[in-house]
Chains A and B, each alone.
Chain A
């Protein structure tokens, strides 16, 4: 009987997180177009509904009703499962993120490593999407995108290693709690190099500008997405925005203090302590997503060889230096 209640509670939690994330992702597409439009001195979508609020639903209906084209000599089974291989690990990693104190679907001991493992698994979808489309542009786009993702995974992992060193644990709950006892309640001011390296690597992991060469319209048609139409394209898009959400969540949990606010703020304004933690978590995540849009509207994109040079020759040495620095400080000073 207890087991049944536990199962039902977990199913409700999963449904809530899933639903809220899908809603966030749908409106992330809307807000991206609005924000970038405003930054470019134009209105974004404003036709569908008041201020264009219903635009995501219009996009969803459009993608559902488009014709589903499969290229002539494509490998049909692999073509079919590639979007699923990209989407499934990305959505699974939502289950280990603590949105607030105690609100986690799966409280495992190796929280962040699980998210890294899911990021490694979703690389397969990209390679297979490019290869199974049986088209040169798609194939090269897929290989380039996969090479970019696996190169920046290393810098991401090493900069996260410095956070693990400071917190003494890999569990996301413990990392947030360890940060709360730290001055400023955030690791970002002191692990600044690691924070910046992770930020840049997060842009590259999700194939966003300035590292979006594989899917930019002026290059390689649309990269590995070229031969996908209709709902399959929508699945790839969905996984990109969910990955953005997850990277922002990791950044807020590991570097910005998660659902807590700094102690000196609650000392000055004590009523802020009674605001539920999830509000602060979402504010920080929204800030990072706004950063994604801001960078997209502002910065030109890197060529592929420049991209790989940055990943291997700049970010990895910086993150290693950061790790050494943190190890030194932790051993001899703290």
Chain B
């Protein structure tokens, strides 16, 4: 076991354990906090994969914006689970069994995946010019149209969110 494999093993175990903890919490704020910890571990994994820009974007966008949105919604609407009601649906064991079966199939498929043809951006090319520069070059030269469409995809929901969240004063109390 080399040091790299040990580090990866730590991230592997922690990410899976944290995700299992996240989906079994009754208190929603605790679930979001465990998810924050999971995102920090995923950002660490991205650093392993030589993608430091994605590690930082993971923290800024996912952990710093999306989860904060979750926290705001949970806290401002005072969303709480009733203590007596069950948190899982009724057919839990059947779904668990089917899920494990699918997991077995997918894991055996992932374990014997082989690599396809290699691309042109080698690891030390990315380390020489920083990862951000290489990503920017590829994004703005080869993928300009998807990037502009992405701008629209982010712009339209921004307006939609403001429209949907406004309380309508013309109707009566709903």
Contacts and interface: CB of A to CB of B under 8 A. Distances in A.
Nearest to B43: A117
Contact of B52 (A109, A143, A146, A147): A109
Interface string A127-141: 110010000000100
A34 B130 CA distance: 46
Given A124-B36, A170-B132, A131 B75 contact: yes
Chain B interface size range: 20 to 34
Given A117-B56, A117-B60, A120-B60, A131 B29 contact: yes
Given A116-B60, A153-B64, A171-B130, 6 more contacts: A78-B29, A114-B56, A124-B36, A128-B33, A150-B65, A170-B132
Contact of A146 (B30, B68, B131): B68
11 contacts: A109-B132, A110-B52, A110-B132, A113-B53, A117-B59, A117-B60, A120-B60, A123-B68, A124-B33, A153-B64, A169-B133
A110 to B, nearest CB: 5
B14 interface: no
Interface string A98-131: 0000000000111001101100110110011001
Interface of A: 75, 78, 108-110, 113-114, 116-117, 120-121, 123-124, 127-128, 131, 139, 143, 146-147, 150, 153, 169-171
Contacts of A78: 29-30, 33
Contacts of A114: 56
- The B interface is mostly helix, strand or loop, or mixed, namely helix
Nearest to A116: B60
Contacts of B72: 127, 143, 146-147
Interface of B: 29-30, 33, 36, 52-53, 56-57, 59-60, 63-65, 68, 71-72, 75-76, 130-133
